[in-house]
Chains A and B, each alone.
Chain A
Amino acid sequence: MTTPLLAVRDLRRYFPIKRGVFGRVTGHVRAVDGVSFHVGAAETLALVGESGCGKSTTGRAILRLIEPTSGSVTFDGEDVLALDGARMRKLRRRMQIVFQDPFSSLNPRMSIGSIVREGLIIHHIAEGAAADARVRQLLEEVGLRSEYASRYPHEFSGGQRQRVGIARALSVEPSFIVCDEPVSALDVSVQAQVVNLLQDLQRDRGLSYLFIAHDLSVVEHIADRVAVMYLGHIVEMAPVQRVFSVPLMPYTQALLSAVPAPEPGLKHSRILLAGDVPSPANPPSGCVFHPRCQHPARDAACAGIVPPLEEKAPGHFAACIKQTPTTVSWEQQKSAGGTKPPELFVPPSLAAATY
C-alpha cells in the first residue's frame, strides 16, 4: 500500500474538568480517546457519530486548532504535531477546514472578497490586482457571482455563505479539507447544491476530505469509507457499501435503523436504543457501548474487555468482541465473566430496509 496522505495514530484529546476557585483538576473529559485512521489521496473518509462523540474535536485536533493531548498525525510524510509555529502556518496551506454554521463562520465585518483574499495574501500566493482576479475566479468556481466580492456576509443566504467558506478554504490550494458538518445547517435543496459542489471540487482538484457528519444519508452519498465514532472511539470503519449493507458494530446497526426511511409503507422494525449516551467524563468500562447494546451475546465480558478495532472482513474493521471473527478468544472472554459465546449478528430487518 502506498503511504496515505494523512495518517492519524492513537490520537487523544482530554479536556480537564476544573472545580473550585483554584481550578483544581478533578477529572478529564475524554473527548477523543485513542483514534487511528488514514485518508488517501482524493479519498473521502466520513467520520460519523452523534453529538459529543468527539468527531469534531478529532477534525480540529488533526489541524491543531485544538492541541491534541497525545498521538501522532502524519500529513504527506510530515509529523504535524512536531512542527513549530512558523512551519505549521506554512503547512496550513495544504490542510483546510469548512465549518457547519454558515452564520458564525464568516467575519461579519469583512466583505466576502476580503475573506477569500486573506489566505492569498498571508501565503504570498497572489497580491494586488492578481489577488483580486484570483478572488473573482474562486467565487465563480464555487458558484457565486464575482460582483458579490464587495458585499458583506449578512447579505447572503445560508447556502451562499457556505460557498464563501468553501472558497476561503480553496484559496490556499489545499490537498486536504476537513468538512465539519458542512451541510447540516442547510435546507434539503440547498444541501444538495453544496454536496454536489464538494463532489465537483474533489473531482476537479483531486481533494481529500475528512467529512464529519451525523446525517447518514449524506454520508452514504459522498463517502468512500466510513468511520463510526462513539464516546471518543472509532467503533467501526469500512468501505461505505460495507457499512450500509453489513454493519457489524451493534451501535452502527442502531444508528442506521434510526434513520427515517422516506418510503411510506417500508417501515422497518427499528432498533430503539435505551437511554442516552453516557458522559465522556465517566465512560463505561470495557466496550463503551455495552450498557446500551442490543447484541444477543452481550454479557459481563463486554464490561470487562476493551474491544480492539479488528479486521472482521477485508477492509472492514469493528470493535466488538461478540461479532465473529474476533481475536479475543472465548477463553479470554469467559475469564472476564463471559457467559455467551460470540456469534455473528446482523439484524435482518436492517438489510431488508436499506437494500
Chain B
Amino acid sequence: MTAPLLEIESLRTYFYTDAGVARAVDGVSLRVDAGETVGVVGESGCGKSVTALSILRLILPPGRIEAGSAIRFEDKNLLEMTEREVQRVRGNRISMVFQEPMTALNPVFTVGDQIAEVARIHAGMSKRDAAAKAVEMLKLVGIPAPEQRANEYPHQLSGGMRQRVVIAMALVMNPALVIADEPTTALDVTIQAQILELLADLTRRLGTSVLLITHDLGVVAEHCTRVIVMYAGEVVEETITTGLFSAAHHPYTEGLLGAMPRIGRHAERLATIPGTVPPPTAWPVGCRFRDRCQYAWDRCEREHPPLYQIDVAHVSRCHLAEEPERRAHPHPPLAAERGASAA
C-alpha cells in the first residue's frame, strides 16, 4: 500500500474563549488516498469545518492547533512548516471550496482577475498567460461566454455561477486535494445537483482527491467512496459509503439516518435524537453521546470508547462493539427523560 495523500493524526484544535476552552476538534485522525473522495458528515458544532480549516492552518486566535497533532500531506507535516511554506501549499497543492461563494470571492475584483491571481502567484505566469488561463478555467467549469464573464464582478453572477468560479479558482493549479466545505449548502437543489456533478466530473478527470464536508447524507451517498461521521469534536464512525447506509454501527449515525426524511420511505414519525449537542467547552467524560443514546449503560459513563474495528475498513467509537447484545435493549435516553428541551 502506498502512503496516503493526506494523513491527519490526533488533530486537536482548541479555542480559548471567555467561556472556557472550546475543544472544537479533539483528537481527529483520518486519511485521504490519491484520487479518492471522502465525505465528512456531522451536524453544526461537530468540528468538521474546523478540521478543514486546520488542514490549511487557517485557524485564527483564539483558536490554536495543539502540540501533538500531525497533518501529513505528500509526506510532509504541514504543522511543522513555516508560514511561507504553507502558503506555497495553499491554493496550489491543496485548495478549498467554501460554502458561501459570495464571501469567498473579493467583491472589488473581476472574477477573471481573481482566478488569474492564483496562477500568477503559484505558477509565476505572466499577466497575459494568467488571463488566458482564467478564461480557460471558466470554460472548464461550464460558464457560458467565458471571455465576457471573466470581466464581470462577483455580484453580477448568480449563486451557482459564483460557486463555479470558486471551483475554477480551486482547480487552477491542478491541486492534489480539494477540500470542499459544504460547497452546495447555500444553493438551490437543482443548482446543487449541477455543482456536485461538475465537481465530481472534474476531479475524476484530473485525478484530484476530495475531502467533502457536508451535513447531507444524500450528498455523501452519491459522491463519496468513504465516509467519516463526526460528533462532538471526534470521529465516531468511519466506513465505506455503502456500509454506512446498510450497517451503521454507532447509535449517533443510526439516529442521523432515522431522522432524515427520505423520499419514497413513508414513516409516520421521524426518529429523533433527543437533546442537543453539548457545548464544546464541556464535553462529557466517557462517551460524549451517552446522554442522547438509547443504548447507553454505566460503562459509557466511565469509559471513553476507543475506535473499535467492526469490519474491514469500518470503525466505530461505541462500546456496543464489545457488548453487541445490549443493542437488543434500547431505553429512553437520559436527554429524553429530562425533556426534549434540556440541552
Binding site for B on A (CB under 8 A): 50-51, 143-145, 148, 156-160, 163, 187-193, 195-196, 199, 214-218, 220-221, 244, 254-265, 267, 270, 272-273, 275-277, 354-355
Contacts and interface: CB of A to CB of B under 8 A. Distances in A.
A144 B255 CA distance: 21
What are the 10 A-B residue pairs with the smallest beta carbon separation, nearest first? A260-B218, A192-B259, A50-B188, A187-B43, A258-B193, A192-B270, A189-B273, A221-B261, A143-B340, A144-B341
B263 interface: yes
Which of B43, B144, B158, B264 has the largest count of A CB atoms less than 10 A from its CB?
A: B264
Given A192-B271, A254-B190, A220 B261 contact: yes
Nearest to A50: B188
B178 to A, nearest CB: 19
B189 A159 contact: no
Interface string B25-44: 00000000000000000011
Contact of B218 (A191, A193, A262): A262
B256 interface: yes
B189 A214 contact: yes
Contacts of A145: 339, 341-342
A258 B255 CA distance: 25
A163 B341 contact: yes
A260 B267 contact: no
B253 to A, nearest CB: 11
Contacts of B241: 264
Which of A159, A191, A262, A355 is packed against the most chain B CB atoms within 10 Å? A262
Interface of B: 43-44, 144, 158, 160-161, 188-194, 196-197, 215-222, 241-242, 245, 255-264, 267, 269-274, 276, 339-343
B222 A261 contact: yes
B276 A160 contact: yes
B263 to A, nearest CB: 5
B341 A143 contact: yes
A270 B260 contact: no
Given A193-B272, A258-B189, A258-B190, 19 more contacts: A50-B189, A50-B191, A145-B339, A158-B44, A159-B276, A187-B215, A190-B43, A196-B269, A217-B260, A256-B263, A258-B193, A260-B219, A262-B221, A262-B260, A270-B193, A272-B194, A272-B197, A273-B193, A276-B160
A354 B242 CA distance: 18
Nearest to B158: A276
Nearest to B241: A264
Given A187-B215, A276-B161, A355 B340 contact: no
Contacts of A160: 276, 341, 343
Contacts, number: 135
A157 B340 CA distance: 12
Nearest to A157: B276
Contacts of A193: 272, 274, 340
Contacts of B216: 260
Contact of B44 (A187, A262, A264): A187
Contact of B222 (A267, A277, A355): A267
Contacts of A264: 221-222, 241-242, 245
20 contacts: A143-B341, A145-B339, A157-B343, A187-B43, A188-B260, A190-B43, A192-B260, A193-B272, A193-B340, A196-B272, A216-B263, A217-B260, A221-B270, A258-B192, A262-B262, A264-B242, A265-B242, A272-B194, A273-B190, A354-B264
Contacts of B44: 158, 187
Contacts of A217: 260-263
A156 B43 CA distance: 17
B194 A273 contact: yes
Which of A163, A221, A275 has most chain B Cβ within 10 Å?
A221
A279 to B, nearest CB: 10
A38 B5 CA distance: 57
Nearest to A270: B193
Contacts of A159: 276
Contacts of B217: 188, 262
A214 B184 CA distance: 14
A355 B264 CA distance: 5
B163 to A, nearest CB: 11
Given A160-B276, A188-B256, A220-B263, A263 B343 contact: no
A64 to B, nearest CB: 28
A148 B341 CA distance: 9
A160 to B, nearest CB: 6
Contacts of A273: 190, 193-194
Contacts of B194: 272-273
A263 B312 CA distance: 21
Contacts of A156: 343
A267 B259 CA distance: 21
Contacts of A216: 189, 263
Contacts of A258: 189-190, 192-193
Nearest to A244: B263
A21 B339 CA distance: 57
A51 B192 CA distance: 12
Nearest to B192: A258
Contacts of A190: 43, 276
B193 A272 contact: yes
Contacts of B259: 188-189, 191-192
